[in-house]
């Protein structure tokens, strides 16, 4: 069972990005948070603004694992293009009673006919031997266990956008205050 605590959703994001930062650098992929390169000088201000958003109830380790799966999928997609560069944009917004965490890459995206199936268990769009088909299924399970939902769409002009939507914790104050 998830260890449910009030948390700033940006913290598992930071943990997951930290785990793939070396690979992103090796692939010349920029991981940006609200347009700011997370390796750049203005990243701390963007992260501080995100920390001021309302909290959700959740397990930080499970949420970091879900984010890690999304980032690895995005890096794999960008690697498959073979351009040796790319971009992953991460955004966190408070919309009504939800926090929306979006991860979007500028890779090849997924064909419209396959889009409804990509979260199915053991379904993969990767070459044989490259993927287990568990990544997005795990993301769906973690998000569902946290009372959230996952929305997948092709980004414009290209790439895949994954939105994780979580209900704001009942009576949650801003993350900077007492919960």
Task: Determine the average pLDDT of the residues in 36-63.
Answer: 90
Cis, peptide link before residue 78, omega less than 30° from 0: no
Mean pLDDT over the full length of the chain: 83
Among 105, 131, 129, CA closest to 118: 131
All structural domains of the chain: 5-167 (3.30.565.10)
3 pLDDT above the threshold of 90: no
Place of tokens 């999304």: 70
179 pLDDT above the threshold of 70: no
């Amino acid at each position: 069972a998830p260890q449910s605590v009030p948390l700033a959703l940006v913290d598992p994001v930071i943990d997951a990005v930290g785990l793939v930062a070396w690979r992103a650098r090796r692939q010349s992929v920029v991981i940006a948070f609200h347009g700011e390169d997370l390796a750049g000088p203005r990243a701390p201000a963007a992260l501080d603004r995100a920390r001021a958003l309302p909290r959700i109830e959740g397990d930080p380790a499970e949420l970091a694992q879900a984010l890690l799966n999304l980032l690895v999928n995005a890096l794999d997609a960008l690697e498959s293009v073979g351009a040796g560069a790319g971009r992953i944009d991460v955004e966190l917004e408070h919309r009504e009673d939800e926090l929306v965490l979006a991860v979007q890459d500028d890779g090849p995206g997924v064909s419209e006919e396959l889009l409804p199936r990509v979260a199915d268990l053991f379904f993969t769009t990767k070459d044989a031997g490259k993927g287990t088909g568990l990544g997005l299924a795990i993301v769906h399970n973690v998000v569902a266990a946290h009372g959230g939902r996952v929305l997948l769409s092709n980004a414009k002009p290209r790439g895949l956008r994954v939105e994780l939507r979580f209900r704001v914790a009942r009576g949650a104050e801003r993350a900077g205050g007492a919960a």
